[in-house]
Structure formats: structure tokens, C-alpha cells
Copies of this chain bind each other. A is one copy, B any other.
Amino acid sequence: MTEQLSITYHLHCQPGESVEEKARDIGLEQTIELPHELAVRSGWLGYAGRVEDLEHLYGESYRAVLSYPGDAIGAELTQLLNLLFGNISLKDGIEITAIDWPESLLAALGGPGQGIAGIRDACRVPDRALLCTALKPMGLDAEALAGLSRAFALGGVDIIKDDHGLTNQPAAPFRERLPACQRAVEHANRETGRNTLYFPNVTAGRETLRERLDLAAEAGCRGVLVCPMLIGLEGMSWIRDQYGLAVMAHPSLTGSYFRPEHGLRPELLLGEIFRIAGADASIYPNVGGRFGFTASTCQAINDRLRGPLGELSPALPTVGGGVNVADIGHWLDRYGSDTIFLIGGSLYAQPDLTAAAASLIRELERCHG
């Protein structure tokens, strides 16, 4: 791992703040964590990030490029996040806007285990866009959630996932919910001849995560939903390596990184980084829904999930957060068929869930054909 990692920052300075120092201090803070003079005097600058480029953007904002030795990271996702934004998260006016990934790091971290091809294969949907919905709300019992699963599966929904807040509430404990929903989907599949998948939410602490994954694998699930920032980003790679299940990533808790003038761009975290860490599908809130992503951010996330990234498999953008049933044609046209549309609330608002789902699937098929 001798290649360099190169990171582009937008730096937003306070009046009187020196951008040269700000850039240099990032390179120290994220690595050797010593004052510059002391590091120079002691000959300890070897692992420090180095400012490669610095240019003025506008007002007090600048673009800086720093390079870091690959050895500072190794092949650990925890240390990657630490080097990217660990200590500087506690500072101000630092936005990471681009990362130039060493091929060796990408290869070591591995990326999606299934990717677009694997999920399409599991769903037996070779080319059209995929439809996903969420089981909710928390408070329903396992039987009611299984009933919803059946209704959605009969309508041909491709992936039925637990809402990310469904964990182990007494109304529908995981051990009851999982087999009930998985069986409901399998029965419906026998009737429809389709291959709807059920992705249970396995997000939990270490020991419980393992139990839930064991149960999911035993029940015949092909994939799971997980919130990477709740279990630790590396949890996705671990699921990939230990279980071979497809991983759909939920953006819970990630919004904190997307603040104005300080953070990581959404396309880096939900696009590149989640993909590198093993997400086969990455959920994000669509423009115009109940969250604030812009059209260009959404497009950028799609590009980072599907575009070239070393030898890594592409992953599926999973567009949710208030996508309306009525607008599916519009979004399909804009985002293309290598997309999962995650439609929750506006599907639940329909009187006949099976008919509503079937109509959406027909629309996806029609637009494709």
C-alpha cells in the first residue's frame, strides 16, 4: 500500500484566517498530530498530509488538494474514515469534495459483493428498474407485517425491506417478524412466479447483528438492510465477507456530514464510500421529497455508485425519502433503469396495495420496453 490518497477540500476561512496554515494543519491533524515546527525539527513529517495545490475559489473560500501516504491508512475502513474526517470534524469550514482513490486501496477494501448484476440476478429482473418498498410502521405485529409483505409481493414489488426503525420492538420481535415476512413473500412468489426478495433490517450491536444475520441466512433471505453509521461503516464489508448476503445501506445519521461548508459531500459518503465499504444498494433521499438534497447531488450519487471505480462492481442507487407514486415515470426517465425506486408512504396511501404495486411495476416495465 504505497500509493497515495489524494483529497480535495474546499476551505472556508474566517476573516484573518490563513488558508495556507489551515491547509497545512489539516495534513498534520489527520496524521501525525503534532505542531508543524516540532514535526520539522524532529524529522517527523513523513506521514503528514502534504499540500499539493491551493487555489482561490471566491471570497474567503479556497480549493486545496492534499496527498497522504497510503500507509497511513493501510486497508482499514475505520482508519480511512478517521483520516478523512476524524479530528477535522471538530473544526470548521472544511468540506471534502473529491477523493482520488489508490487502486490498491479499492482492491483491498473490495466494494460490493453482489453489485447491480447480483441483485438483478437474485430478483430475476435483468434490465428494468427495480421497485422497493418498506414494511412499516413500527407497532404492527409480525402477522400484520407479513400481511403487508404478501400484498406487496403479490403486486410484484422486487424488494420488500423492513423500515430501518423496525428492530426488535415487542409488537413484532425480530425472531417472529423475519420468518413470517420471509414465508409470506415465498408463498406469494409461488403464486406469481416472480422472485420478490425480503430484506430484513439487521442493524444492531455486534452479537445481536450476528444472530439476526444467522436467522436471515437460515430463513433464505438473499439480502439485508443495514444502517452503516449505526453499526460502524466496516460492518457492511463484514456482512459481505461473512455471509455473502446483499447489503442495502440506509443513510441514518449521515446527514450530519452534509452541512454547509463543513463535511463530506453526500456523493462521497453515500456514493463512493458506501460502495467501497460493500453496499450493493445505497438509499438516499430524492430531490423534492421531504429531505433537502438537490437534483445535482442526486445525480452525483447515482454516478458515484454506478460509474467506474477501480475494479469494483457498480451498486444500485436506491431513491427514496418521499418519491411519489405518480411521478415514477419522470424519475425513471431521469435516473435510468439501473435504479431502485423505494416507495413507501405514497404506496401505503393507496387503497389496494397489491394493485398499486402492480401498476408501478407495469409502469417500470412499460418505460423500459
A residues near B, CB below 8 A? Answer: 1, 25, 29-35, 38-39, 42, 44, 46-47, 71-72, 74, 76-79, 81-83, 85-92, 134, 136-140, 163-165, 167-171, 203-208, 227, 229-235, 237-238, 251-259, 262-263, 285, 290-292, 321, 344-345, 348-349
Contacts and interface: CB of A to CB of B under 8 A. Distances in A.
B137 A85 contact: no
Contacts of A254: 89-90
Given A44-B140, A345-B35, A164 B82 contact: yes
Contacts of A262: 256, 259
Given A47-B169, A79-B168, A81-B230, 7 more contacts: A31-B138, A32-B165, A42-B348, A71-B171, A205-B237, A206-B206, A259-B259
A237 B90 CA distance: 24
29 contacts: A33-B163, A33-B165, A34-B344, A44-B137, A47-B137, A47-B139, A71-B170, A74-B167, A78-B203, A79-B167, A79-B168, A79-B230, A82-B203, A85-B253, A86-B227, A86-B252, A86-B253, A89-B252, A89-B253, A91-B290, A91-B291, A205-B232, A205-B238, A206-B235, A207-B238, A229-B229, A230-B233, A232-B232, A256-B257
B39 A137 contact: yes
A72 to B, nearest CB: 6
B72 A292 contact: no
Nearest to A138: B47
B344 A231 contact: no
A86 B285 CA distance: 13
A78 B205 contact: yes
A273 to B, nearest CB: 12
A293 B34 CA distance: 20
B234 A349 contact: no
A344 B33 contact: yes
A298 to B, nearest CB: 13
Nearest to A284: B90
Contact of A234 (B140, B206, B290): B206
A76 B204 contact: yes
B227 A72 contact: no
Nearest to A167: B79
A148 to B, nearest CB: 11
A86 B203 CA distance: 12
A137 B31 contact: yes
B81 A253 contact: yes
Contacts of A76: 167-168, 204-205, 208
A230 B35 contact: no
B82 A139 contact: no
Contacts of A35: 345, 349
Contact of A206 (B79, B91, B238): B238
Contacts of A88: 255
A253 to B, nearest CB: 5
A349 to B, nearest CB: 5
A324 to B, nearest CB: 11
